[in-house]
Amino acid sequence: MNNNVYKIALLVVGFVLFAAALYVYRPVQNNMTRITVVGDAQTKIAPDTAVITFSVVTQNSQALAAQQENARKSEAVRKAVEAVAVNIQPEIKTDDYNLSPQQDYSGERPKISGYEVRNTVSISISDLNQVGAVIDAATKAGANSVEGIAFVLRENSPAQGDALALATRQAMTKAEAIAQSLNGKIVRVVESIEGGAPAIPEPDNYGSSNSAMSMNAPAKPIYHTPVQAGALNVRSQVVLAVEVEISR
């Protein structure tokens, strides 16, 4: 009997000590909250790439003749551009190719009077000082429509990262200010979402007025096409979700 009482007493004491230990060493309950802020930064950055869009347009009463003439002129344009931009390795790609009949509506019924072929290519170069020279070489070789020029930033441009870093710092500054106003501190960044894109200027449309150049016209002074790139307005946006520990 005494042994049982002794065992029960030890068990009770052990339970009390265990309960006391749990109370003393219980985990501290923190008051956590989450806030979301937006960092928005806009900077002016010089472009590093020019994209020039040309078209070679040919017409003939026969479809094959129009196509063959277009192929010859397009190849001449490609070679002329590569010769001018030999040190900057231009990227040339086809944007569109179209062969379409030309309709004559002067009679009772429309009839095909000829065919038009349009081959549109875009040329990307990294040396902005060569834009005018590329335009001159292409039009001289046979490009009779300059659709426009776009000045852009490459996706891997360091300037893109600088703008994004500025927006991130702005977002973090906002988050820290809100945390301090709540008598708390930022524990960790839960999520970050980036956005924003460079504002690309409107293309400089030269139009097809450059196309008609008579080979029999009197010799005139040769002028080089002046092109000024200017600056791009780059807007970067970052959304940060942070976890804040609030002291009570």
CATH code where residue 139 lies: 3.30.70.2970
DSSP string, 45-56: E---EEEEEEEE
Answer whether residue 231 is part of any domain.
yes
pLDDT tops 60 at residue 102: yes
- 34 closest CA partner among 191, 194, 183: 191
Q: Is residue 230 part of a domain?
A: yes
| The pLDDT of residue 152 | 85
pTM, 2 dp:
0.59
Helix axes 63-84, 131-141, angle to 10 degrees: 150
Cβ atoms of 248 and 29 closer than 8 Å: no
Partners of 203 in beta bridges: none
Judgement on whether residues 99 and 83 belong to the same structural domain of the protein: yes
Quick one: 58 and 116 in the same domain? yes
- Select the highest-mean-pLDDT range: 116-120, 148-152, 192-196: 116-120
Residue 99: inside a domain = yes
60 and 92 belong to one structural domain: yes
Q: Looking at 130, 152, 174, which one is the last position of a domain?
A: 152
CATH number of the domain at 245, please. Answer: 3.30.110.170
| Residue 16 in domain | no
Same domain, 81 and 196: no
Phi-psi region of 30 (alpha: psi -120 to 50; beta: other; left: phi over 0): beta
Q: What is the mean pLDDT of residues 234-241?
A: 84
Residues 121/122/127/129 CA torsion (nearest 10 deg): 70
Question: Is 58 strand, coil or helix?
Answer: strand
Which pLDDT value is given to residue 10?
56
How far is Cα 95 from Cα 145, in angstroms, rounded to an integer?
Answer: 14
Q: What is the C-alpha to C-alpha distance for residues 246 and 248, in angstroms, rounded to an integer?
A: 6
User: Of 152, 172, 200, which one is at a domain's C-terminal end?
Assistant: 152
- For residue 121, the model assigns a pLDDT of 93
Residue 215: predicted pLDDT: 35
Query: Which residues face 100 on adjacent strands?
Result: 116
179 & 102 share domain: no
Same domain, 36 and 62: no
- Residue 14 in any domain: the answer is no
Kindly list the distances between the CA atom of residue 192 and the CA atoms of 36, 166, 205, 231, in Å, as whole numbers in the listed order.
Answer: 9, 14, 39, 28
Residue range 181-186: mean pLDDT, rounded: 87
Q: What is the pLDDT of residues 16-65, one digit of tens each?
A: 455 545 444 444 445 888 888 888 878 788 888 899 999 999 999 999 99
Nearest Cα to Cα of residue 117 among 99, 143, 142, 102: 99
The structural domain count of the chain equals 2
Range of the domain at 140: 49-152
Last residue of a domain, one of 131, 152, 173: 152
Q: What is the pLDDT, as a whole number, of residue 99? A: 94
pLDDT band at residue 109 under the 50/70/90 scheme: confident
Q: Torsion-angle region of residue 181: left (phi > 0), alpha (psi -120 to 50) or beta? A: alpha
pLDDT in tens, 129-149: 888 889 999 999 999 988 888
Would you say residue 20 lies in a domain? no
- Distance of alpha carbon 25 from alpha carbon 17, whole angstroms: 12
User: Average pLDDT, stretch 88-101?
Assistant: 90
